[in-house]
Structure 1
């Protein structure tokens, strides 16, 4: 593996953005040649671009294209060369396939392990994202093992690993690093508290929480770090691409522009450029099985080339989520990450960790879990924050803890058994062939 990875760039191999672009161009020819072997790109009447200038004029590859090419219409190698097959977690109902060779996996692992909090042999690494068709759990597992860490495969789609068991494992195994959705870190904290454990004090081995998979506002990130007394390290990527950005020591997400060419598309004008706010478009430079040319990931981002104190010569990205998941209250456009910033802007002592919101015509309704002692203050302050940020009235419903996230789900340890078909007298045979 070391020999293969030595052929890939390392942070610091380039001194400025002009040198970084030359590094991209040196790899782009192989990417375009791989695309020419893909049935999808061969079928395009325009052919495959010959270089960067033609690539800038090339039609975008969309999620709809990937769905139409299901399952192997994007394949650029013989199927015998594939190592893994995946599908994204998208909600359209139509599968979006992705596949990787062993060579692709070397690059995937290398990018994921680029975090400024390093993974090493002394670490016990809990993976709490799905071990399913999407890539996320498998990628973290492979990267942690490549770095010598002990992996605890906790999943988050399995009845066998409820929140109470995750908390027990975190505590008893002295877990040092975790990989999960940001929301999971708050659910563990609530579950730990119900078990009589203090998240910031009774887990002394925990040295960082790696998070990804959903937009994360600065306020929620700060709250998670405060609750666990450990740094929160962001990761950004997708099943179709693997890691696209990682966090530097100064808390900024940097796009891995030595491994991909990135553009930003303005959805209103359709214009693309290297920076600004819009949809992220990516051309991976190290894909063998499934080359992608100008793939529109459809995430809304903000990309900047401003200097960062870390010294990495890589663009900074803010991930804002999917624009189609926004909502309107009258004339005002709202996003989850914007409202999240206001909710987690409430004082930590109020204990607000779980919330939800709904818009109806010109009304915004927000529900929060908050104890009775701080209920009136939380309602008053959140209503004021929404008014100041958006100029609209909000209806705030304070709910007792356990209303949005049932207490039972945080403490339950269900008996998960293997399926069976033979039952004794008095046993419930309606559970035949089920795992629970």
Structure 2
């Protein structure tokens, strides 16, 4: 699992957090020096001595997402263009983008961090990468990590006309895919598409070893349901396009921050206080990012960080990513959050077969729709309404819809042609498709 030749810190090379902090303090001056080469930080670091310790660093203002947008495209860049390997933008960008640059050396760090999966990655693996490749980091990151360990990559992409769900299922089955990388919702869509194709997700894909997921909040109930459907572990990953992987899951199911490769802080946006642990917004300083160094970058993700040791022996802080789970809508006197509501939906008995749902919070009532077969519709509807009443004390209107109502069957089974653009057509062809490809 390790790539010892890179010279970067590796799991197992320290015996506690004091050793990790020494690794951080050793690398930090180099990171700060890299930062002074970018226009943004050159201006910010002009007065006084450069920060040399984590305590010194704490005197700097936080770097925000707006700072990255304002510096677009090259204001954060710290190396000449000829040193660059890739450019990316965040999927969550609205309006002006948040740019991210990486050198080839940066990519070694990125790939190693992502590959820290307790289940392992090897040359025997067939690895389906089912996250976007366009501009985002996520697909390229998994691709590079798999190749680092010799895995065969299936570049499945996402939201691509060339890779509909029927084709995903065919690839999973026929190529005997062993590992996948996607958002968690994809795993449910694959299960539905597999059944539509006549396959049993938990039985007809025996080569599958694990499902790697990230990019969206995942409750314990939904995670466990996905794992039962496919009969393999669901392994979480946390990171961003601006930073790469920041945390990975250990064999005991906890997410650990890669504190040997980055400094982490927790920022209370109400009080302005910054701590090393507790709840707040995650602030990160990547330590091996040369192309575009980030000092005290506020990801604005709500998290809970703890330094309580874990049975895995990694001696790294643990993190719970709350994301938007703390945000909710008022229904009556209750606040309804997606995180809690999802727990209730996926706590329904597996036999009901509820995979897809949606909800709308209105001032007086919570409206919920679930896909469920006729024979379980009334039971599922009644049980979910009762759970909502018990959990939130709110009135709800739960409607059971026939399968295919929220996720159309055609979406799961269609195999559209993807053609190249053309301008010359025969007498019986539709020339309204000239120059179009889809």
TM-score of the superposed pair, with normalisation by structure 2: 0.96
Cα distance in 1 for partners of 2:36, 2:335 equals 42
Contact kept, 8 Å, 1:262 with 1:282, in 2: the verdict is: yes
SS of equivalent to 2:141: helix
Superposition deviation, residue 307 in structure 1: 2.2
Match of 1:196 among 195, 198, 213: 198
Cα distance in 2 for partners of 1:301, 1:283 equals 16
Aligned to 2:79: 77
Match of 2:291 among 289, 292, 295: 289
Match of 1:162 among 161, 164, 167: 164
Contact kept, 8 Å, 2:3 with 2:112, in 1: the verdict is: no
Aligned to 1:40: 40
Aligned to 2:113: 111
Aligned to 1:367: 369
Aligned to 2:418: 416
Superposition deviation, residue 324 in structure 1: 8.5
Aligned to 1:309: 311
Cα distance in 1 for partners of 2:89, 2:330 equals 31
Aligned to 1:245: 247
Aligned to 1:22: 22
SS of equivalent to 1:303: strand
* 1:220-369 pair list within 5 angstroms: 220-322=222-324, 326-369=328-371
Residues 362-371 or 227-236, more deviating: 362-371
- Structure 1: 5+ residue stretches without partners: none
Cα distance in 2 for partners of 1:399, 1:338 equals 22
Aligned to 1:10: 10
Superposition deviation, residue 138 in structure 1: 0.6
SS of equivalent to 1:298: strand
Superposition deviation, residue 93 in structure 1: 2.5
SS of equivalent to 1:309: coil
Superposition deviation, residue 2 in structure 1: 5.1
Relative distance call for 1:84 and 1:324 in structure 2 (3 A) is farther
Cα distance in 2 for partners of 1:324, 1:390 equals 14
SS of equivalent to 2:60: coil
List per-residue Cα deviations over 1:21-62 (Å, max 9, x = no partner).
Answer: 121111111111111111111223775534322211221111
* 1:177-192 pair list within 5 angstroms: 177-192=179-194
SS of equivalent to 1:321: coil
Cα distance in 1 for partners of 2:329, 2:35 equals 38
Superposition deviation, residue 376 in structure 1: 1.5
Superposition deviation, residue 157 in structure 1: 2.2
List per-residue Cα deviations over 1:162-185 (Å, max 9, x = no partner).
Answer: 000000010001111111110001
Contact kept, 8 Å, 2:192 with 2:412, in 1: the verdict is: yes
TM-score of the superposed pair, with normalisation by structure 1: 0.96
Aligned to 1:125: 127
Cα distance in 2 for partners of 1:303, 1:390 equals 27
Residues 51-60 or 123-132, more deviating: 51-60
Relative distance call for 1:237 and 1:177 in structure 2 (3 A) is same
State the aligned residue count: 435
Cα distance in 2 for partners of 1:112, 1:130 equals 16
Relative distance call for 1:276 and 1:46 in structure 2 (3 A) is farther
SS of equivalent to 1:433: coil
Superposition deviation, residue 334 in structure 1: 3.1
Superposition deviation, residue 232 in structure 1: 0.7
Relative distance call for 1:302 and 1:433 in structure 2 (3 A) is same
List per-residue Cα deviations over 1:105-131 (Å, max 9, x = no partner).
Answer: 000010011110111011111111111
Match of 1:146 among 126, 145, 148: 148
Aligned to 1:380: 382
SS of equivalent to 2:146: helix
Aligned to 1:93: 95
Relative distance call for 1:40 and 1:19 in structure 2 (3 A) is same
List per-residue Cα deviations over 1:228-270 (Å, max 9, x = no partner).
Answer: 0111111111100000001101111101011111111122222
Aligned to 2:174: 172
Contact kept, 8 Å, 2:215 with 2:238, in 1: the verdict is: yes
Cα distance in 2 for partners of 1:134, 1:266 equals 28
SS of equivalent to 2:425: coil
- Structure 2: 5+ residue stretches without partners: none
Residues 352-361 or 405-414, more deviating: 352-361
SS of equivalent to 1:417: coil
Relative distance call for 1:136 and 1:372 in structure 2 (3 A) is same
Contact kept, 8 Å, 1:328 with 1:361, in 2: the verdict is: yes
